[in-house]
A and B are shown apart, each in its own frame.
Chain A
Amino acid sequence: MTIRHQIEVESVTFLLLAGAVGIVFAFYSGYKFNPQNIVSLPVVESFQNPIPVITPIPKPDVSSQISPDGEKLLTMSVTTNDSGKTYTFTTSDANGANTQNVYSVTYADTADSMSIPFNTWSPDNKYVFINHIGPSGNDAIVLKANGEPITETESSINSTVIFKAKITNNLYDETTGWASETLLLINTKTSSGEKSTSYWFELPSKAIIPLSTQF
């Protein structure tokens, strides 16, 4: 090998090495892919929330949730009597007019209670779902908002009971809300508590559809 050849080989090796070092340096030498901004929020002086309501109206025995379009209201009234606690659900216009009883239940056992979820109303205001909180967990109960039976034979559908009977490979976690006018979104988890497949529960067919996306 002549000196000239040797120098050429050295040159090419050096150049390749330099390129590689440059790339490696770009990856690891202080280049941040995720530069971080930190912005301070103002110190809150007071809280005002005149129109939207996240938490139920803070009365001890009455709570309600407005529909997403602000047109309708679902109200839950709790009365305590000798036989236990009676939960009565009514729908109405946002101004309180056109009240309609949609569901009523009495629990003697204090381990059972009811609540209104934030996303209770279907997007078209035709359905609502409410939560039954019991010793074995939460159940979502679906109702027609106008008080009519949801099917020819049922006044309400317990979507959680149906779901648990049909889906056994994943554990029911929660019903979060409505994916569309007739589709409830159900999240599941694995036995080790990790997030698993999400499902649609379709009304009124009661079909359960697994989703490729986890919600």
Chain B
Amino acid sequence: MAKKLRSKKKLKIYFLVILIGVFSFAATRMLLDFTNRPPVCANSKTCNSDLSFRIDNNVAGIFEGRKVNPPVIDASSEETGVVLGAAVSPGEKHIYIDLATQTLIAYQGKTQVLKAFVSTGKWGRTPAGNFNVWQKLLSTRMAGGQGADYYDLPNVQYVMYFYHDFGLHTAYWHNNFGHTMSHGCVNMRKVDAKALYDWADGPSGKKLGTAVSVCDEITKDNKCIQNNPVQL
């Protein structure tokens, strides 16, 4: 009788051992997944409040503790210049960003229509992954950071968000393209950003916006390598 009881208890313990093992494994994985998840806000102050069209003319901006002068925007006089790929046969549009070389390459079908230097995340990581432009804004305001890192930038033009508030946009406050300079977004010269903005599509009905792939590296044989990509 005592022997039977003991073997029953042993079975119970084995069961508990397996259960706790599996539970610990799952809990640890979930915790690691959570802590390893890329941030969802590039602009901590305006990430949730200001993803909308906004023009603030004659308001000074702040970047790296210094006053910057935003451009004055007249939305009514906005012109579409030469649209990229207009002379190229239609095809799927795809934007690739190479974090290693700080370059952006835009394709229409198999034709490269733009290659430009950009500035990606310095103070915050630009998330690797495959996304689509989910919103296009002619202008908006971006703010975030704390202390010496605080920034408030009105009239950021030609914004194309592709993952939460991570987007492609102009950067009028610096000219250091080809080097990381952002809080996670993809900074572009105005000439490049406007050309890309006029070419790329936002979402329309059930159709997704232009595809955006952020690659840790684009290899010589044209492979986009993404480490720890965002899983949508």
Please determine whether B13 and A14 come into contact, CB atoms closer than 8 angstroms: yes
> Given known contacts A26-B24, A119-B177, A176-B176, is B191 in contact with A70 (CB within 8 Å)?
yes
Report the nearest A residue to B2, measured CB to CB. Answer: A3
Q: Are B191 and A39 interface neighbours, CB within 8 A?
A: no
Contact A179 B191 (CB under 8 A): no
Query: Which of A50-58, A132-140, A150-158 binds B?
Result: A50-58
State in angstroms the CA–CA spacing of A177 and B173 once bound together. 12
**Which of A41-49, A85-93, A101-109 sits within the interface?**
A41-49
Binding site for A on B (CB under 8 A): 6, 9, 13, 16-18, 20-25, 27-29, 32, 36, 63-64, 66, 68-69, 71, 81-82, 84-85, 87-88, 94, 96, 105, 107, 109-117, 122-123, 128-130, 171-181, 189-192, 194-195, 213, 215, 218, 222-229
Known contacts: A22-B25, A70-B190, A119-B175. The answer to whether A39 contacts B64 by CB under 8 A is no
How many of chain A's residues have a CB under 8 angstroms from any CB in B? 58
A163 on the interface (CB 8 Å rule)? no
Distance in angstroms from A182 CB to nearest chain B CB is 8
Q: Are B222 and A68 in contact (CB under 8 A)?
A: no
Enumerate chain A residues within 8 angstroms of B17, measured Cβ to Cβ.
14-15, 17-18
Once A44-B112, A52-B189, A69-B71 are accepted as A-B contacts, the answer to whether A185 and B107 lie under 8 Å apart by CB is no
**A26-B25, A41-B223, A185-B176 given; A52·B192 CB < 8 A:** yes
Can you pick out 7 interface pairs between chain A and chain B where the beta carbons lie within 8 Å of each other? A36-B229, A48-B113, A51-B84, A51-B191, A68-B177, A118-B177, A123-B174
Bound complex: CA A52 to CA B223 (Å): 24
List the 5 closest A-B pairs by CB distance, nearest first.
Answer: A22-B24, A177-B176, A26-B28, A70-B191, A37-B226
Given A23-B25, A36-B226, A123-B173; A51-B81 close (CB under 8 Å): yes
A39 adjacent to B174 (CB under 8 Å): no
